[in-house]
Amino acid sequence: MTAIASSAALRRSPHATRRRIASVALLIVAAVATLAVMLPILIIVFTAFKPVSEVNAYPPTLFPGAWTLDNFTRIFTELPFARLILNSFVFAGGVTVFALVFDSLAAYALARLDFRGSRVLLIAIIASLMIPFQATLIPIYQLVSDLGWVNSYAGLIAPRAADAFGIFFLRQFFLSLPRDLDNAARIDGASEFRIFRSVVLPNAVPALLTLGIYVFVNNWNDLLWPLVFTTDAEMGTVTSGLTLLTGPGGIIPQGVMMAGSLIAVLPLAIVFLLIQRRFVESIASTGLK
């Protein structure tokens, strides 16, 4: 019996060895890929803490020889950076809230209600996704200017209060929800708005969180929109404000720019960490509410 067991172990050992080699190779590939993805972030972090002499030194170095907070001090003295951060939160947060409200209402009507022209309306919404954003920028600016909304939160938020992609995305998710939930609520005498608010929305939390993160990040990082609709530095956002750091001849203080970029990334990381657990929990409980 001992000899048989030893023979079986010898036959299994090459397979076990190959599995271990494959696991180690996969781990190495994952580590290299992670390092490649993290390298730009590491450069931003370390450059933000470098003095000017090291930032402009050649050949460049990754790690700072002398750590300093001067770049973070300069970003708040050379720019109204606290106001820019506030503007970014108001702009990105306001667009996110309004987009979730209007997109979900439109998506519910297209997914759960039968009315004349719904198919034509859906085709028009999908077709609008093919129109380049730059093609509508000038007409929208003219409208905002006529309303006197340039350099205002209304001018930044209102034109983006609804989005064709968000409507289509939520419609597809609403179609996946069982219609038995709607029918049961209608039998109990619930109105369409009550069904939307108390039945559909609680089961659509994963889609709402996904769209909310997408809209918030997209608007937080947007550069062109705030540059066009704000001419006052006090009404700019973080991304548009960083462009003001460019000096004569196109000289950019890289250390200060990296410090501002690092501060701009932190709110996105915090939002993701706060929502991540709720996002996973909502997926697990979809259809049970």
Question: Could you tell me the domains of the chain?
Answer: 19-67 (no CATH), 81-287 (1.10.3720.10)
User: Who contacts 247 (Cβ-Cβ below 8 Å, separation ≥6)?
Assistant: 253
In the predicted model, what is the mean pLDDT of residues 41-67? 84
Q: Please tell me the predicted confidence (pLDDT) of residue 28.
A: 93
HSE-up of residue 277 (Cα within 13 Å, Cβ side): 3
Q: Please tell me the predicted confidence (pLDDT) of residue 205.
A: 87
DSSP structural state of residue 249? G
Contact 157, 102 (CB under 8 A): no
Above 60 in pLDDT, residue 285?
no
In the predicted model, what is the mean pLDDT of residues 67-87? 89
**Res. 24 pLDDT band, cuts 50 70 90:** confident
Query: Model pTM?
Result: 0.82
Q: What is the pLDDT of residues 82-97, one digit of tens each?
A: 899 999 999 999 999 9
Q: Closest Cα to residue 63, out of 51, 74, 76?
A: 51
Three-state DSSP state, 253: coil
User: Who contacts 154 (Cβ-Cβ below 8 Å, separation ≥6)?
Assistant: 147
> CA-to-CA distance for 14 and 78, rounded, in angstroms?
65
Q: Please tell me the predicted confidence (pLDDT) of residue 283.
A: 52
Phi and psi, residue 173, nearest 5°: -70, -40
In the predicted model, what is the mean pLDDT of residues 207-218? 90
**What are the counts of helices (DSSP H) followed by strands (DSSP E) for the chain?**
15, 0
Can you say how many angstroms the Cα of residue 142 is from the centroid of all Cα atoms in its chain?
28
Return the structure tokens found at 132.
């380049």
Contact 48, 71 (CB under 8 A): yes
Contact 145, 86 (CB under 8 A): no
- CA 193-215-199 angle, to 5 degrees, is 25
> CA-to-CA distance for 207 and 201, rounded, in angstroms?
9
Contact 164, 125 (CB under 8 A): yes
Residue type, 199: V
User: Cis peptide before 59, with omega less than 30 degrees from 0?
Assistant: yes
Q: Please tell me the predicted confidence (pLDDT) of residue 85.
A: 92
Above 50 in pLDDT, residue 287?
no
> CA-to-CA distance for 62 and 44, rounded, in angstroms?
10
